[in-house]
Structure 1
Amino acid sequence: MPSTLKQKHNLSIEGNPDAQQTIIFAHGFGTDQTAWHQVKQAFKDDYRLVLYDNVGAGKSDPAAYSPIKYQTLNTYANDLLDIASVLQLENAIIVAHSVSSMIAMLAAVKAPQYFSKLVFTTASPRYLNDESEGYIGGFTQPVLDSMYEGMTLNYYAWASGFSAAAMANADKPNLGSDFAKSLLSVRPDIALSVAKVIFESDVRKELSGLNIETLLLHSQNDIAVPTEVAQYLHRNISNSRLEFLNAEGHFPHISAPDEVIKALKTFI
């Protein structure tokens, strides 16, 4: 593997190197590949595992990030395809969280030969409501503007509040605290820039081009992705199935890993 790609994404190859099939784990906003630590343990004996950090997150190369280059999800999708190409993947399974679900969708539409099955965890093709089409995304522009302002004025305070709300699971406050630490490890200017790209993205039109078998995992009380969004994805991805997990919050792979593992094993 080229050292430049490994450094760019903190790329890690784990699990069974002789396995017939590869699982790629892709993380969401504010986290990195360590978010999959509990889930990946269930697959390390039978699959080759590929984990990486999106540019701008985790231990990716800070020099690789540019707010101009990464102003669209397509750039992240191209990064994923670079990884798939260099590793010569065929018919890989990708398990993605949040924004990486739509990044994986864009990648799979462009180059379906790399993927055999897709798993989208708490995914959204558009976070903003679209009244003209009766689409409920969960956010209005004023709400997003207020969030951006909070991130700009006091990133530490914003991260503390957002992490607790997004993680939910009030009976496990340590989960929210851990997510806050993860958010605070991201440079505030990068976090703000990435958040704007994610929350103002709209990839609804690309969904019809996806023909790979897809599992949609949705949890309860997700402040970022209402149930209507999960149902919208299910209606608009032709070969999809929707499963509601016995979990709450935006990060079921962290708060309820056994539920996610069970769903994954059934699907793959």
Structure 2
Amino acid sequence: MTIASRNNVKVIGSGHKTIVMAHGFGCDQNMWRFLTPSFTSDYRIVLFDYVGSGRSDANSFKVERYSNLDGYAQDVIEVCEALDLRDVLFIGHSVSAMIGLIAAIRAPALFGQLVMVCPSPSFLNDPPDYMGGFEHEDLEELLALMDRNYIGWAHYLASAVIGTGNDEALIAELSGNFCSTDPLLAKTFARATFFADCRSLLPETSHPTLILQSETDSLAPLSVGSYMQARMPGSRLEVVRASGHCLHMTHAAEIAEIIRGFSDQHSGL
């Protein structure tokens, strides 16, 4: 089993600069289809599915590896190494922003810049200095709902993730994506996602970082973006007038323009 087949790696586009796009929890590489057309003419784009997601090799899933974000970061590193990549522009959605951060700290030469789409270093409230948006019991109840009513859980979370005022078809698509994932694999990734705390890692990378945040996001309050920007050297925060946790799907053209400007600024173009 090669890394490329294990992670269902696809390479599209052409150009000297390589973008690696990493999907969030419950998603797969298909979720990037709204953003990729803006970059394929002059960037090489690497898409993949984490083990346990999309069309990855589910037989490669090991609970002990994927019960925390380190295992998913290792997927990113191994995909980059298998393709002999260096100095990539890494775009990570939601939890993949933190997965990318871990990977960039562990293997800094692989990365040039980081783009974090609707990130959160911790979903848990830790007053008075940090409000991630959820109490511990809220997240435990969310995971318990997976056991009691998997379809209901999928629709509830998909609605929260896509956000109000956005295309209902996207909610249905994301809900269907959740439902098509093996519940054991999904719950393992969910627990790793919602109970991770990466706040201490924020100052540990010197890679230029773009933080893209929605004005209204039920999973990541505005204060989260400000918290991250204040603790990440060389980071830039852009708040987009939007609702929801999936800017790459709901506001792809707008964030593509911001990302391209950021990339050009740090590539000397």
Instruction: With the length of structure 2 as denominator, give the TM-score of the two structures.
Output: 0.95
Alignment match of 1:230 (pick from 222, 225, 245): 225
State the secondary structure of the residue aligned to 1:38.
Answer: coil
* C-alpha deviation, 1:171, in angstroms: 4.9
Q: Distance in 2 between matches of 1:166 and 1:61?
A: 26
Please say if 1:266 is aligned against 2:261.
yes
Alignment match of 2:123 (pick from 119, 127, 130): 127
Please say if 1:178 is aligned against 2:170.
no
Tell me if the contact between 1:152 and 1:192 (Cα under 8 Å) persists in the aligned partners: no
Please say if 1:52 is aligned against 2:30.
no
What is the match of residue 89 of structure 2? 93
Q: Distance in 2 between matches of 1:165 and 1:98?
A: 13
What is the match of residue 211 of structure 1? 206
Q: Distance in 2 between matches of 1:240 and 1:21?
A: 20
Tell me if the contact between 2:165 and 2:243 (Cα under 8 Å) persists in the aligned partners: no
Tell me if the contact between 1:169 and 1:255 (Cα under 8 Å) persists in the aligned partners: no
Structure 2 residue runs without a partner (length 5+): 264-269
Matches within 5 A, 1:109-258: 109-131=105-127, 134-258=129-253
* C-alpha deviation, 1:246, in angstroms: 2.5
Q: Distance in 2 between matches of 1:216 and 1:108?
A: 15
Q: Distance in 1 between matches of 2:76 and 2:157?
A: 27
What is the match of residue 266 of structure 2? none
Tell me if the contact between 2:38 and 2:253 (Cα under 8 Å) persists in the aligned partners: no
Q: Distance in 1 between matches of 2:186 and 2:165?
A: 25
Instruction: With the length of structure 1 as denominator, give the TM-score of the two structures.
Output: 0.95
* C-alpha deviation, 1:210, in angstroms: 0.7
Overall identity of the aligned pairs, in %: 33
Across the aligned residues of Structure 1 and Structure 2, the Cα RMSD in angstroms comes to: 1.2
Letter in 2 for 1:106: I
After TM superposition, the structure 1 stretch with the greater mean CA deviation from structure 2, 247-256 or 210-219, is: 247-256
Letter in 1 for 2:105: V
* C-alpha deviation, 1:79, in angstroms: 1.4
